[in-house]
Amino acid sequence: MAMNLRLSEAEASALRRRAEQEGRSMQEVARSAIAEYVADRPARLRAAIERVRVENAELLDRLGR
């Protein structure tokens, strides 16, 4: 599937630099980043839930009474 992705100048420059550093195309780097983001969602979600649980332990305890 083809799509257009509009980036700011800063985003495009950062992507270009990373692609040059890795010897890959900008498209390859962007696709890799998207794949990593999508694949890692469950782990990020678990980490966020744990962070809320720890940071709000007292409140959650009081609500559970």
For residue 30, CA distances in Å to 2, 4, 37, 41 come to: 13, 12, 11, 17
Q: Which residues, given as ranges, of the chain have pLDDT below 70?
A: none
Q: pLDDT digits over 49-59, tens only?
A: 999 999 999 98
Query: What are the structural domain ranges in the chain?
Result: 10-63
Say what the pTM is: 0.61
C-beta separation of 26 from 19 below 8 A: yes
SS3 content of the chain, % helix, strand, coil (to 5): 75, 0, 25
